[in-house]
Structure 1
Amino acid sequence: MAFWWVNHKQTVRQETEGGYIWSPKQNANGAKNVTYDNLARCQVGDVVFSYAYAKIGRIGLVESAAETAPKPPEFGNTGEYWGDNGWLVRVAWQPLQQPLVPREHFELIQPLLPERYSPISTTSGRGNQGVYLAGLDEALGHLLIKLIEQHADAAIKVHLLVLAEERDSSHALFDDVQALQEVVSTTERDALTKARLGQGLFRHRVAEQEPICRVTGLARQEFLIASHIKPWRDSTHAERLDGANGL
């Protein structure tokens, strides 16, 4: 899992409402732009911080790898000088109830900023207009999450919990899914794989047991990520598909 910071004051409304980030593939003069190329480096599960008007107002999770796409029509006259051929990355955005103002924590953030292609000035803390999508190291990414978490509402705390779980369990998840290849029955293997990923039959059974989120009270099924109560590796095949074994 990687951390990214997007500067998109000009298109923040269109991109956050549309659930994506977009950039041309090169500068108007045809020159290479590393911060545009970064979109092609995004992977599913990466974290993106949305920065506009001197504030981080949203945190997002990358939902799909970059795809070639024309400039979104909703941009209108914004970025008329941008090329039409670009990169589009789908992002699930979650708005922050209390936006984070990086300049208010600059003494903590400044030492961790990248030397090149920093999203904000390393001296003033103001946004760098020439940088669209900046890569952050883990130390800065985790610091920003900590600062956000201090004043976060319940929905954001759930979002951050999901991030932590994905980070800590990504290798175990890969190993478990690989081990399921040994299950002979194709139907059973498919059901168990989806259960391990929190989808399919297991997800449906958890939704029947838990119609709303116990933390936020939300009943939005699209936000449901079904997790096992009894550890996956300690469960029988039946328990792995049992909705009562999930939250």
Structure 2
Amino acid sequence: MATWWVNQQRTFDQELAAGILWAPKAGRNGRRQAHWTTMTEVRLGDTVLHYARQHVVALSVVTAAAVDAPRPNDLQSDWEEDGRLVRVAYRQASHPVHREEIPEAWRTGHSSPGGPFKKDGGVNQGYLFRVNEDFGARFLDRFADRFEDLPVALPAEAQDSATNLLRRLLGQDIFTMTGKSNRILDVQPPYARVATERSPDGQQVSIAEVQLALDLLRAHGQVPIHPNEIGHRSSFIGAVLLTLPGAELIEGTPPCVAIQPPGVFDVPENADYSLNFEGDLNRPVTAAQRREQAALRRALLGSATEAECSFCGETYPVRFLITAHIKLRSLCNDDERLDRHVAMLACQFGCDVLYETGYISVASDGKIVTATSAAEGALASQLTRLAGRACGSFTERSRNYFEWHFSNRFRG
């Protein structure tokens, strides 16, 4: 994880209130500045040192990488409108660190081009600068006690939208703090339909209320589970939040869902470490079998030893092909589960998981569509390769199942 130094002489209060960093892409003259372009290098979990009024006044952890965003209304109007926004979780200093408290040798030793300091140890003009690991580690070692409740780096799942989080949980039984089961039956904004013991056919839950809870978690690292805080379906929302990696329940009135601080389970690379666990490592389990799965696979493959993936069109030995459900199996009725058109072949080299997680789907014309908000790099390359291809399993008999996936799973 990287450490950054941000100068916020005129914008700290406004950016603190919004939980963001923001910088224009270019000046009025169209010239791009390196200390603005660095916004594109910031990544989830990075640490930011916030400098204003000759003091480091806050620390933050990045909760979402940069996105294109217009200039917030509260920021100075002499900047261009087109810019980039990074979301961060701030923790203000109980006793801000004056620039002169930072040893001069640390500052003058970090005066390379593109760094935050001048050769004389003063602070360079500009917005966002990367600091080296040595400076970041020294600063935190000496001054961390001034920043109470250091921000928590949230898991990637908490950075997603509430809609996509709920879609990931479709068909699963999730449990409230009192042990009551909820099952998400469909997710079609602005509502999700959630079944309970009292309402097996499901009732609507506002996705906006789940989004509010996620936003509170990002801002504060924990969320009170109470109707006054997150709406009347707070028990269900708490159950959703508890599915996030690292989430834990904090007893109290009201109880809270919090994310464990990073590093709780970190182990030094060279440590002599073993799990402290007593008892038999194996235990008998009772599992429901998908008894129709073998029949579906036979219907799709027959005696073939090779077959095509429905998405990429590549031919693989059958051991590398999954008999995947077009509509989530747990939400199919018995007739649908026995319909051979509910299943397709998807390869284990990316296509199956991309469909399962909603990064690809199939439109009404049978062509593959891909998520527009996908990350850059290898994922974006894979999606580009698939976009616009004809899906090999799309037929009039399978159309309804693909429509369900497009409406309920696709990230859009």
Q: TM-score of the superposition, structure 1-length normalised?
A: 0.65
The one-letter code matched in structure 2 to 1:52 is A
The one-letter code matched in structure 1 to 2:94 is Q
Alpha-carbon shift at residue 101 of structure 1 (Å): 1.4
Contact 1:35–1:134 (Cα < 8 Å) also in 2 = yes
Contact 2:49–2:58 (Cα < 8 Å) also in 1 = yes
Larger radius of gyration: 2
Is residue 2:207 matched to residue 1:211?
Answer: no
Which of 115, 119, 124 is matched with 1:128 structurally?
Answer: 124
Q: TM-score of the superposition, structure 2-length normalised?
A: 0.41
Tell me how far apart the structure 2 counterparts of residues 18 and 148 of structure 1 sit (CA, whole Å).
25
2:141 is aligned to 146
The one-letter code matched in structure 2 to 1:64 is A
CA deviation map 1:169-195 (0-9, x unaligned): xxxxxxxxxxxxxxxxx989x9xxxxx
CA deviation map 1:16-43 (0-9, x unaligned): 1110000000122111211111111110
Alignment of 1:183-222 (within 5 A): 200=243, 206-207=248-249, 210-211=250-251, 221=257
CA deviation map 1:68-100 (0-9, x unaligned): 00000112xx2x331100000000001111111
Q: Unaligned 5+ residue runs, structure 2?
A: 156-169, 175-240, 268-273, 284-412
Alpha-carbon shift at residue 146 of structure 1 (Å): 1.4
Tell me how far apart the structure 2 counterparts of residues 50 and 112 of structure 1 sit (CA, whole Å).
20
SS at match of 2:114: coil
The one-letter code matched in structure 2 to 1:148 is F
The one-letter code matched in structure 2 to 1:224 is I
Alpha-carbon shift at residue 201 of structure 1 (Å): 6.8
1:19 is aligned to 19
SS at match of 1:14: helix
Contact 1:199–1:225 (Cα < 8 Å) also in 2 = no
Is residue 2:128 matched to residue 1:100?
Answer: no
Alpha-carbon shift at residue 152 of structure 1 (Å): 4.4
The one-letter code matched in structure 2 to 1:211 is E
Alpha-carbon shift at residue 114 of structure 1 (Å): 4.0
1:175 is aligned to none
Alpha-carbon shift at residue 226 of structure 1 (Å): 7.1
The one-letter code matched in structure 2 to 1:28 is R
Greater strand share, structure number: 2
SS at match of 2:119: coil
Is residue 2:53 matched to residue 1:53?
Answer: yes
Contact 1:35–1:132 (Cα < 8 Å) also in 2 = yes
Alignment of 1:33-182 (within 5 A): 33-75=33-75, 78=76, 80-125=77-122, 127-129=123-125, 131-153=126-148, 155-156=149-150, 159=151
Q: Unaligned 5+ residue runs, structure 1?
A: 167-185, 191-197, 213-217, 239-247
SS at match of 1:139: helix
Contact 1:112–1:139 (Cα < 8 Å) also in 2 = no
The one-letter code matched in structure 1 to 2:251 is P
Identity %: 24
Alpha-carbon shift at residue 143 of structure 1 (Å): 1.3
Q: Which has the higher contact order (CA 8 A, sep 6+)?
A: 1
Which of 247, 253, 259 is matched with 1:224 structurally?
Answer: 259
Compared CA separation, residues 139 and 199, structure 1 to 2 (3 A)? farther
In terms of mean alpha carbon deviation, does 14-23 or 111-120 score higher?
111-120
CA deviation map 1:129-187 (0-9, x unaligned): 2x10001110011111112225444x23xx4xx67xx9xxxxxxxxxxxxxxxxxxx98
In terms of mean alpha carbon deviation, does 41-50 or 22-31 score higher?
22-31
1:173 is aligned to none
Compared CA separation, residues 48 and 199, structure 1 to 2 (3 A)? farther
Greater helix share, structure number: 1
1:29 is aligned to 29
The one-letter code matched in structure 2 to 1:128 is N
